[in-house]
Every structure is written in C-alpha cells, then in structure tokens.
Amino acid sequence: MSQETRTETTATTGTGIADWQAGVVGGLVGGAAMGAMITMTMPSVIEMAIPALYGLQGGLAGWVVHMAHSAVLGVVFVAIAANTGLGRGIGRSAVAGLVYGVVLWAVLAALVMPIWLQTLGFPGAPPFPNFALPGSLPAHAVYGVLLGALVPFLGN
C-alpha cells in the first residue's frame, strides 16, 4: 500500500490587507496625485485655504490636512463600495471612484469649503457656490479614479 500526499495550493489576489487599509492607501495615492495637480494649478489652495480650515498656515500644514482628508475619504469610499457592490473589479471600481471624486468636488470643494472659509473670515474664500470650471474638478476626478482602481487591487 502506498500512501499519497496531495498538496493543494490556492492562488490569492491583492495584498491581503484589510479593505479599510486599502482605502487609506488608495486615498493617500490619489491624494498625492490630486495635491500635485492642485499645487501646480492653484498653489494657494494647498498653501493657504486648506490649512485655514483648521486655523493653520503654510504649505506643509496644507499637505498634512489634505492627505488626512484623502485617507479618511478613502475609507468612506470603501464603506460605500462594500455596501453597494460597486467595488467589485478594478474597472468598475475605478468608474465608481470617478463618480465619487466628482461628488466630493461638488459637495465638499464647491459647497462646504466656501461656506467654511467664509465663516472663518478667510480673506481668500471662494464665492458660494464655487462651481468654477475647471477649478479642482480634474484633480478630484484623478483622486477618485486612482482610489477606485487601487482599492480592489490592494484589498483581499
């Protein structure tokens, strides 16, 4: 009698990190690209407006706040995608990310940020509403696409 040993292997995809962690990483990558675009086209947003939201000043503070927002909003995207099924597949998730980025622009950048900065008395506050095109819309779209593409790629 011979004894056979059978070994099964299972292929896995992704990095094995938790979904919320994929949201943080995707948010940070998308946020870095978005921040670079905004710095090139509207440097005062990163250097003055974003840090002013929290009573801070300077480009470093602006980058820290922007990247923190990017990470948190990446986790929010993961929660929405997980509960709606939109995060299945890189292509589908990238499109969902694009929509998410446009919604973030319309709600947070065009509506919330002007009110917040005007309330604080920030002298460079944009008008309300601030749907000026192209403005930061392309940067928010890039953020969303990168976030959406990375989450399923990195996740379990």
Give the whole-angstrom CA distance, residue 22 versus residue 123. Answer: 37
Residue 10 has pLDDT above 50, yes or no: no
Are the beta carbons of 150 and 90 closer than 8 angstroms? no
Selected residue with higher pLDDT from 14 and 40: 40
Q: What is the mean pLDDT of the chain?
A: 89
Q: What is the pLDDT of residue 85?
A: 78
pLDDT digits (tens, 9 = 90+) for 101-136: 999 999 999 999 999 999 999 998 999 999 988 889
Burial of 57 (0-12, 13-18, 19+ CB in 10 A): exposed
Q: What is the pTM of this model?
A: 0.87
pLDDT band of 143, cuts 50, 70, 90 = very high
Reported as a single tens digit per residue, the pLDDT across 40-67 is: 999 999 999 999 999 999 999 999 999 9
Quick one: which of 106, 111, 89 has its CA closest to 141? 106
Q: Is the confidence at residue 9, as pLDDT, over 50?
A: no
How far apart are the C-alpha atoms of 110 and 106, rounded to whole Å? Answer: 5
Listed by start position, the domains of the chain span: 19-154
pLDDT at 82 over 50: yes
